[in-house]
């Protein structure tokens, strides 16, 4: 029987009223397992009205009490880790260890938000002038919203709503309609942790809901993670409507392999970073750039047997699976279409996963691993974000050529270099025009107390996600200049000096 999902409004599950639904698949079987309601602009507006009514009292709650809600939420996340991971795997397709990692990286941002009392402190200058004191306050924006993607249905919603709520805002979450169950479960856990009704709303929907968020005058700020074209659209429309907007788009992450690198270490890193989570990560390494023909030959020789041994299967297979299916049939078709385009354009397909089929799961959205060699920058498989288990190898004749490849690509989310040469690594980190850099680390996602964000067409807006930037994004700074007349006691009474 197909499950009927809901929204989360005013602290309870609420059925959709639009009559429109999206289908939620089990990616391993290809079967529809749930229907999710797609909200109208009116339904979104009702959620915003409720959030706006609840927010002033929450903003007036002192930061330490707000932090205690986050502390309890962390405890509940740990309690329900297995339950959340299983629900996530069932709708997304990723393995249970990957699903637990998804929850864990979101949980770590919530832990950082427990520091809200410190992070929200302003500044103070005593005696800035004669009898004048200056101080600043960080105050919440009001109602904020987040539009989050399918590939991390636990982590990225928590990256958005946890700092916003810790700052004293109410929050409207519009999760991906492809795997919406975990965000609803997170909202229930926030309520159990003590969050007042109306502070976190989950409104499921599609483009109609997104446009309603961007156009609603009661929403002060919007955060988005997804593809670059949609990021550009949301950033432009949100800014045009006077909102504070941060948008994170696509990626094409290069990993430079220098001749002196530990080739086994580099190959292991590429397999994990390129094929883990079926490549459906904005920080996945999708381009290997060995420097020199000999380095390239050695790297390919190490990669092929590792890739051919990868085990692909459903999350129910237990821990003996390296990655699962991609999220939808459309995603699978796009990936295989780009693989075919790579072959047509002259790339050498060293490992061909196009005929991969899993017995008993023939209708599932499984994609075998692919490895290309001798890819060139004009090819579609190099220019576009494939978002699947496909690794492209671009051979560079020199370090400068390898650096130039990463710098010239329009995406600038993450990059890495593998080398034993500290000078080369330092030069790379200083010169490369990319937001997150790994040195012998293939997926350089910062920990929760630093900020996450790319450059170029991978990010739009001035502030990054999580870390101190999140508290800057979800607050406004108010600066107060105070002067008090001084009193001189004469005959038992105070006589106040004139201000001027």
Q: Hey, which residues are catalytic here?
A: 282
Give, in order, the Cα–Cα distances in Å from 375 to each of 210, 268, 293, 339, 434: 37, 21, 13, 12, 21
Contact yes or no for 197/11 (Cβ under 8 A): yes
Can you give the length of the chain in residues? 500
> What token pair was written down for 346?
């002259």
| Residue 464 near residue 448, CB atoms below 8 Å | no
Residue carrying the six token digits 């009223």: 17
Judged by DSSP in three states, 287 sits in strand
What token pair was written down for 364? 């599932």
Distance CA 214, CA 186 (A): 24
CB 400 within 8 A of CB 420: no
Cα separation of 191 and 69, whole Å? 9
Which tokens in the block code for residue 233?
A: 């659209």
Cα(469)–Cα(451) distance, integer angstroms: 6
Phi and psi at 59, nearest 5°, equal -65, -30
Within 193-262, residue ranges assigned H as helices are 207-215, 228-240
Q: CA of 108: how far to CAs of 65, 159, 207, 255, 387, in Å?
A: 19, 9, 30, 26, 25
Tokens of 291: 């420097």
Distance CA 230, CA 247 (A): 9
In whole angstroms, what is the distance from residue 497 CA to residue 488 CA?
Answer: 8
Cα-atom radius of gyration of the chain, to the nearest Å? 25
Q: Is 438 strand, coil or helix?
A: strand
436 neighbors 305 (Cβ within 8 angstroms): no
Whole-angstrom distance, CA of residue 40 vs CA of residue 18: 6
């Amino acid at each position: 029987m197909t499950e009927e999902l809901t929204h989360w409004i005013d602290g309870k599950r609420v059925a959709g009223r639009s009559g429109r639904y999206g289908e939620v698949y089990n990616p391993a079987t290809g079967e529809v397992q749930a229907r999710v309601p797609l909200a109208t602009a009116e339904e979104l507006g009702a959620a915003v009205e409720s959030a706006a009514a609840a927010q002033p009292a929450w903003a007036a709650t002192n930061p330490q009490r707000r932090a205690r809600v986050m502390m309890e939420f962390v405890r509940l996340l740990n309690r329900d880790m297995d339950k959340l991971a299983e629900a996530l795997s069932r709708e997304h397709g990723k393995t249970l260890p990957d699903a637990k990692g998804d929850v864990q990286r979101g949980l770590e941002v919530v832990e950082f938000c427990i520091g809200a009392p410190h992070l929200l402190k302003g500044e103070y200058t005593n005696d800035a002038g004669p009898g004048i004191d200056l101080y600043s306050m960080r105050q919440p924006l009001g109602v904020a919203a987040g539009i989050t993607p399918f590939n991390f249905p636990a982590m990225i919603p928590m990256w958005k709503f946890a700092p916003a709520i810790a700052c004293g805002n109410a929050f409207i979450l519009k999760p991906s309609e492809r795997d919406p169950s975990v965000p609803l479960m997170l909202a229930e856990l926030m309520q159990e942790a003590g969050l007042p009704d109306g502070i976190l709303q989950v409104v499921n929907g599609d483009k109609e809901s997104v446009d309603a968020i961007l156009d609603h005058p009661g929403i002060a700020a919007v955060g988005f993670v997804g593809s670059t074209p949609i990021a550009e659209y949301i950033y432009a429309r949100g800014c045009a409507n006077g909102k504070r907007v941060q948008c994170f788009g696509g990626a094409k992450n290069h990993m430079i392999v220098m001749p002196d690198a530990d080739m086994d270490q580099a190959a292991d890193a590429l397999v994990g970073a390129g094929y883990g989570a079926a490549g459906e990560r904005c920080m996945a390494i999708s381009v290997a750039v060995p420097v020199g023909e000999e380095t390239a030959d050695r790297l390919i020789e190490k990669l092929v047997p590792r890739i051919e041994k990868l085990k692909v299967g459903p999350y129910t297979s237990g821990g003996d699976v390296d990655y699962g299916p991609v999220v939808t049939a459309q995603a699978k078709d796009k990936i295989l279409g780009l693989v075919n385009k790579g072959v047509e354009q002259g790339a050498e397909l060293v490992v061909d996963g196009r005929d991969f089929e899993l017995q008993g799961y023939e209708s599932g959205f499984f994609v075998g691993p692919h490895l290309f060699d001798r890819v060139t920058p004009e090819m579609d498989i190099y220019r576009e974000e494939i978002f699947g288990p496909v690794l492209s190898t671009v051979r560079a004749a020199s370090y400068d050529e390898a650096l130039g490849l990463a710098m010239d690509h329009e995406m600038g989310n993450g990059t890495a270099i593998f080398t034993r040469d500290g000078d080369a690594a330092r030069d790379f980190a200083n010169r490369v025009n990319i937001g997150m850099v790994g040195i012998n680390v293939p997926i350089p996602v910062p920990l929760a107390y630093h900020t996450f964000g790319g450059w170029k067409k991978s990010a739009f807006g001035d502030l990054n996600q999580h870390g101190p930037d999140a508290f800057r994004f979800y607050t406004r700074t108010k600066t107060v200049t105070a002067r008090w007349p001084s009193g001189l006691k004469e005959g038992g009474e105070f006589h106040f000096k004139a201000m001027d």
